[in-house]
Structure 1
Amino acid sequence: MESKHLDVAETRVVTDYSQSSERGSLSGQSNINHELENEQKKVPLTFGRRLKQIVWDTLDYTPAERRFVSKIDFFILGYVISQIPSQIICTRVRMSIWCPSWELLWVVATFASSSVKTPHQLYVCRFFVGLAEGTFYPAVHTVLGAWYTKREIAKRACIFFGSAFVGSMFSGYLQAALYTGMNGVGGLSGWRWLFIFDGIITFPMAIWGYIALPDLPTNTRVFWLKPHEKEMAQERIKKAGKAVGEPVTWAGIKRVLGKWHFWVYTAYYTFFICSENIGLYMNLWLKSLHRYSVSNINTYPTVTNAITIVTSLAYGWTSDYIKLRSPIVFFSLTVCFFAAVNLAVWDGVPFGLKWASYYLTGFAQGSGPVFLTMVNEVCAGDSLERIIILGSTNSIAYAFNAWIPLLSYNTTYAPRFLVGNSITVALIVCAAITLALAVYLERRDKDGKPEQGMD
């Protein structure tokens, strides 16, 4: 999912802290590295390994930090490569079977993570966790787009998005509680108990998916919908001009790639996702001030998550009420642009404005589901196109987001980040231009045709 996974930018932040004197206050990552380091023999630094460190700009990293970044790299790899194939397979396999089955794999890989003995075993587990997780987010948006009408979908998409942030916040509190309260219980470290509890919590949700996911209106078999309600669902999608159920073919893929939607929407979402990294570094700034406790440094930035949840819900309800999508997205980009410019200028920017700017970055992420709602609506008449683009936007965006922060937000330059913040300003401008192009092309295509979407 968009907000559930840990991206590489966050990796750099957490890693920086794990090497600091306060590392015991964090998630136990340094303890993971230390424990696994004691269980693995040192490997000679061959030419190939040194070349790898040069390519990934990790020559100045400690061995523990390199292992941590590699762990996240494997997660990103699985997360990225699974999305488009999964979306294509969902045209032939019922989602109520496909998605929960991958969630069960997530449970197995998470349980396995609790018993790893070497970093390489952890890499394998993280790869399968990412592989399983990547199938979920675009599939849910596909289901939402198939069942809900224009006046209903945005608020549901934003509730789904916001719930992931609530889950992440709860996971953080659970992580802290387990690390302090369960560390050493049963001879297991606190971080191992975290994986175990994650699996326990997720298992019933995976089973519930077999029951709750309704598939599409054209092939639903859920018992909790009565026959006349299933007929009503099909009538609703016909009235809304939605096409569903087209299986993937080479001709269909060629048709999708021949339209502007795939390229423009994917480009926008890539710019958008890569510009979100700017808000992740508030804790490094607070740390550099030498006036806040470790607890405050870890707590104050979480306000951004709360802002994202609130703004996401506000975007969803407002978007459905005014029956427009692009103005909401433009608004979020404008707020984030203002914040990014302040952080890029840095020198001379008042302390309070810097603080507010970090918090204002939370206004951007919540517009993601509104944009995907726009994709759902504009591509409503071509079910294969809709499914593929919902997968490609997320997959390609996070493929770029896996390496751009490594280059632009090198923690050596914290907390100023002149290059990173300047690149973010440019990315936001590119996103706005691409979105304007999409709106123009949508209106051009709708000229003289029945309405298919809301810009």
Structure 2
Amino acid sequence: MSIWCPSWELLWVVATFASSSVKTPHQLYVCRFFVGLAEGTFYPAVHTVLGAWYTKREIAKRACIFFGSAFVGSMFSGYLQAALYTGMNGVGGLSGWRWLFIFDGIITFPMAIWGYIALPDLPTNTRVFWLKPHEKEMAQERIKKAGKAVGEPVTWAGIKRVLGKWHFWVYTAYYTFFICSENIGLYMNLWLKSLHRYSVSNINTYPTVTNAITIVTSLAYGWTSDYIKLRSPIVFFSLTVCFFAAVNLAVWDGVPFGLKWASYYLTGFAQGSGPVFLTMVNEVCAGDSLERIIILGSTNSIAYAFNAWIPLLSYNTTYAPRFLVGNSITVALIVCAATTLALAVYLERRDKEKNDLVEQDVTTDPIVASQSREWIEGKGGEEGLAGEARV
């Protein structure tokens, strides 16, 4: 990870600098392709690292701190856009938007270099100098006690095993619904622009409050989730708040001005639950390292593959600022996300009950326990079913 992630970040820097010099739309398309290619690997890779190093009482805090830091960057980007628009537009013969790309590249370059030093890889292969040998040994002991499996290579047999479990399909479906429902809060600037009462600077800065709300709520989610050692109630809460906001924005006519404003800001409650959900994935799949890394990658790649085109249809800017179709679809997506999450919680509890039954049988009938494990893992066939019947 200490080589993989920073190297992609350097490619991101190059593509961002190149974006400041484009002359045609097609040149920008090419630059944006490489920006997306470079940044797509980072988020699931960091969650893979977090899941390998931290235990159940620690991981949600770290995941939410990491997630919140991205929104600090988004807030800063909004302020930077406003500053560049008013202060550097035309300086050196460059438009303000070109200066924005240049500044982004300058800011990111030292962070990419820092990544080669700071990222610790995994406990089983860490090479960083700032961890002492006994600390590396302690890290490996911690993950063993936490029941975390690491180091399984990617094989066709392993992929087939992962695809044969419900985790891949249900978790990926939930995250796809979740990510596609987040678009509702991104168009506040178009609403403000339609009112014809705010300056360009205000239109750029007022929506950043949503990012501030996301930062605060994500940190609150992380600490609360680790304290109560539960994940799904936090996610359900965030979906409920966003559902309320989405319904207000879908109804639109008759909704008071202040409630519309508040509803846009309330959408910031949803996004912070994303890292809590990925923490849940990290924990449920802790015993299967290949399943864990595949699902962390699939949830992001598949969700954003759908999110790349759904907003183009549901949030066509010609329908701004109301977006009746888009906001109504978002309400449906939130309902689908909540339903899918409820299914995941049910299946997790069902599996836990089966595993507890197996552990109980170990002390009474080792043969039954063995057959029950085979049945649970999908490897026992008729023999496993016979064992389950005996139990």
**Same fold judged by TM-score > 0.5?**
yes
Q: By how many angstroms is 1:164 displaced?
A: 0.4
Structure with max Cα Rg: 2
RMSD of Structure 2 on Structure 1 (CA): 3.5
After TM superposition, give the deviation of residue 198 of structure 1 in Å.
1.7
Instruction: Tell me whether 224-233 or 122-131 shows the greater mean CA deviation.
Output: 122-131
Distance in 2, Cα, partners of 1:155 & 1:359: 23
- Whether contact under 8 Å (1:446, 1:452) holds in the other structure is no
In the TM superposition, what whole-angstrom CA distance separates every residue of 1:51-79 from its partner, at most 9, and x where no partner exists? xxxxxxxxxxxxxxxxxxxxxxxxxxxxx
Shift of 1:203: 1.3
CA gap of 1:132–1:238, structure 2 versus 1, over 3 A, is: same
Q: CA deviation at 1:162?
A: 0.5
Q: For each residue in 1:32-56, what CA deviation from the matched residue of structure 2 results, as whole angstroms up to 9, or x when unmatched?
A: xxxxxxxxxxxxxxxxxxxxxxxxx
- Length-normalised TM-score, structure 2: 0.87
Q: Compared with structure 1, are the counterparts of its residues 187 and 291 closer, same or farther at alpha carbon in structure 2 (3 Å cutoff)?
A: closer
Report if the CA contact (8 A) 1:377-1:453 is conserved.
no
Q: Is the 8 A contact 1:326 1:439 kept in 2?
A: yes
Q: Is contact 2:56–2:283 with CA below 8 Å preserved after alignment?
A: yes
Cα separation, 1, equivalents of 2:99 and 2:382: 53
Cα 1:433/1:287, change in 2 over 3 Å: same
Deviations 1:135-187 (A, max 9, x none): 10000000000000000000110010000010111122223333433333333
Shift in alpha-carbon separation, 1:191–1:249, aligned structure 2, 3 A: same
The whole-number CA distance in structure 1 between the counterparts of 2:210 and 2:337 is: 21
**Using a 3 Å threshold, how does the CA distance of structure 1 residues 289 and 428 change in structure 2: closer, same or farther?**
same
Tell me if structure 1 keeps the 8 A contact 2:74–2:211: no
Conserved 8 A contact 2:178-2:337: yes
Is this contact kept in 2: 1:273–1:401, CA < 8 A? yes
Q: Tell me the alpha carbon deviations over residues 77-113 of structure 1, each in whole angstroms, 9 at most, x when there is no partner.
A: xxxxxxxxxxxxxxxxxx1111111111111111222
Paired residues of 2:78 and 2:205 also in contact (CA < 8 A):
no
What displacement does 1:452 show? 26
Distance 1:206 1:286 in 2: 36
Change (3 A) 1:299 1:113: closer
- Relative distance call for 1:300 and 1:451 in structure 2 (3 A) is farther
Q: What secondary structure sits across from 1:205 in the alignment?
A: helix
- 1:421 to partner: Cα distance: 1.2
Change (3 A) 1:100 1:317: same
In the other structure, the counterpart of 1:453 is 384
Determine the C-alpha separation between the residues in 1 that align with 2:209 and 2:186: 12
Relative distance call for 1:326 and 1:219 in structure 2 (3 A) is same
Q: Kindly, what percent of the aligned residue pairs are identical?
A: 99
Q: Residues 417 and 178 of structure 1: is their aligned pair in 2 closer, same or farther, counting only changes over 3 Å?
A: closer
Residue in 1 that maps onto 2:43: 137
Asked if the contact 2:11–2:38 (Cα under 8 Å) also holds between the matched residues in 1, the reply is yes
Residues 81 and 204 in structure 2, CA contact (< 8 A), matched pair in contact too? no
* Distance (Å, rounded) in 1 between the aligned partners of 2:384 and 2:149: 13
User: CA offset at residue 451 of structure 1?
Assistant: 27
Q: How far apart are the structure 2 equivalents of 1:453 and 1:445?
A: 15
What is aligned with 2:198?
292
Contact 2:47 2:296 in 1 (8 A): yes
> What is the Cα deviation at residue 114 of structure 1?
2.2
Map of 2:189 onto structure 1: 283
Work out the CA distance in 2 between the residues paired with 1:103 and 1:205: 8
How far does residue 250 in structure 1 lie from its aligned partner after superposition? 0.8
- SS, match of residue 96 in structure 1: coil
Number of residue pairs the alignment of both structures matches: 360
Q: Which runs of 5+ in 2 are unaligned?
A: 354-377, 386-391
Residues 153 and 320 in structure 1, CA contact (< 8 A), matched pair in contact too:
yes
Secondary structure of 1:149's counterpart equals: coil
Which of 101, 109, 126 does residue 195 from structure 1 map onto?
101
Residues 377, 452 of structure 1: 8 Å contact kept: no
Change (3 A) 1:451 1:383: farther
Per-residue deviation, 1:418: 1.6
**Cα contact 1:147–1:216 (8 A) shared by 2:** yes
Map 1:21-420 → 2, pairs under 5 A:
95-420=1-326
Taking the aligned partners of 1:326 and 1:155, their CA distance within structure 2 comes to 15
CA contact (8 A) 2:181 2:330 kept: yes
Contact 2:181 2:333 in 1 (8 A): yes
C-alpha distance 289-321 of structure 1, shift in aligned 2 (>3 A): same
Q: TM-score, normalised by structure 1?
A: 0.75
Q: Which range is displaced more, 121-130 or 346-355?
A: 346-355
Deviation of 1:298 (Å): 2.9
Q: Would the alpha carbon gap of residues 288 and 122 (structure 1) be closer, same or farther in structure 2, given more than 3 Å must change?
A: closer
Q: Kindly tell me: are residues 172 and 348 of structure 1, through their superposed partners in 2, closer, same or farther at Cα, counting changes over 3 Å? A: closer
CA distance in 2, matches of 1:406, 1:330: 27
CA positional deviation for 1:453: 25
Residues 187 and 411 of structure 1: is their aligned pair in 2 closer, same or farther, counting only changes over 3 Å? closer
Separation in 2, partners of 1:431, 1:253? 25
- TM-superposed deviation, 1:407: 1.2
Query: Once the two structures are superposed, what CA deviation does each residue of 1:238-277 show, in whole Å capped at 9, x if it has no partner?
Result: 0000011111111111111111111000000000011111
**CA distance 1:347–1:452, change in 2 (3 Å):** farther
